[in-house]
Amino acid sequence: MGRRGHGEGTIYREKDGTWRAALSIPAEEGGGRKYFRAQTRSEVQQKLTAARRAQDDGIGQVSNRQTVAQFLTSWLETIKPTMDYGAWRRHEQFVRLHILPHIGSTRLVALSAQQVQALYADRLAVGLSTSSVHHLHATLHKALNDAERLRLVARNVSAVVNVPRMAESEIHPLSQEEARKLLRAARGTRLAALYALALATGMRQSEMLGLQWPEVDLDAALIRVRWQLKHEEGRWVWKQPKPWSATGC
C-alpha cells in the first residue's frame, strides 16, 4: 500500500498506481468504512468530498453502488407531481428508450462525460434527430443537476459535454388554397367545425377539446381559452392551459 496524500488522511495510493479513499460510516448507519477508487488523486477526492457532504447533510446516501437506472427511476417518480404530465412523459420516454439501455447499469458516481458524449453520438448514428438529442440532453442534464444538488455526485458531467447543433427546420404552413381544399373535403363531416377552428385560430388540440359554449362569444367573434382536455394514463383530465391570449375568430 502506498503513502497517503499529504494532509489528506483518508486518501492513499495503491501499488498499482490507482488512488483509494476511505470514509468512516457512523454506527447508526451501519458502521464500517466505505471505499472509493479512481485513477487520479483529484477524482478520488471528488468522490470522497461528495460522500462527506451527503453524510454531513444527513442525506444518508453515501453508497457508490447506486446505478444510473436506480437513480433515474426514483427521480422520475419524484418529479412527476411537480410538472405537466406531457412534459413528464417526454422525460420518461427519453429515460426508458434511450438512456437506460445504454448507461443504466453504470454506477451513478462513476458516470463520465465521455459516456454521455458517446450516448449522444450513438443516438445520432441510429437516426435520432438533433432536436431529439437536445431534448435527451435536457432530460439527463436536469436529472444530474438534481443528483448534484443532493450530493449524490460530485458534479453534473453532462454540463461539459458537447451537444450537437440543432438543425434548423422550416415550417411549411398550409397555403390559402390548401386550407380551402381541406375545408371542402371536411364539409359535411362531424369534424368540419373542428378543422375550421384549427385553421382559423391555431389553437392546440387539447384546447379545442376543452372548449365549452360559455367560452364562445359569437357576437364579439371571441373565444376564451380557459381549459384543455387531455388524455393521460388512460383517463381524460381537465387542466388549465399554458399561457394563451384571447383568440379572435
Give the whole-angstrom CA distance, residue 230 versus residue 232. Answer: 6
Q: What is the CA radius of gyration of the chain?
A: 26
Q: Please provide the average confidence, as pLDDT, over all residues in the chain.
A: 83
Binning pLDDT at 50, 70 and 90, where does residue 245 land? very low
Cα(207)–Cα(227) distance, integer angstroms: 6
At 80, the pLDDT band (50, 70, 90 cuts) reads very high
Q: Give the span between the Cα atoms of 228 and 201, in whole angstroms.
A: 15
pLDDT bin (cut points 50, 70, 90) of residue 101 is: very high
- 118 has pLDDT over 80: yes
pLDDT tens per residue, range 178-231? 999 999 999 999 989 889 988 988 888 888 888 888 888 888 888 888 888 877
Q: Which residues contact 124 (CB under 8 A, 6 or more apart)?
A: 130, 133, 164
Amino acid 210: pLDDT: 85
Query: Per-residue confidence at 2, pLDDT binned at 50, 70, 90?
Result: very low
| CB-based burial label for 5 (10 Å; 0-12, 13-18, 19+) | middle
Per-residue pLDDT tens digits for 7-46: 344 788 888 989 998 887 765 445 577 788 889 998 888 8
Q: What was the pLDDT predicted at 52? A: 76
Alpha-carbon span 134 to 16, nearest angstrom = 40
pLDDT digits (tens, 9 = 90+) for 152-171: 888 999 999 999 887 766 67
- Where does the pLDDT of residue 60 fall: very low under 50, low under 70, confident under 90, or very high at 90 and above? very low
pLDDT category at 112 given cuts 50, 70, 90 is very high
Distance CA 13, CA 211 (A): 68
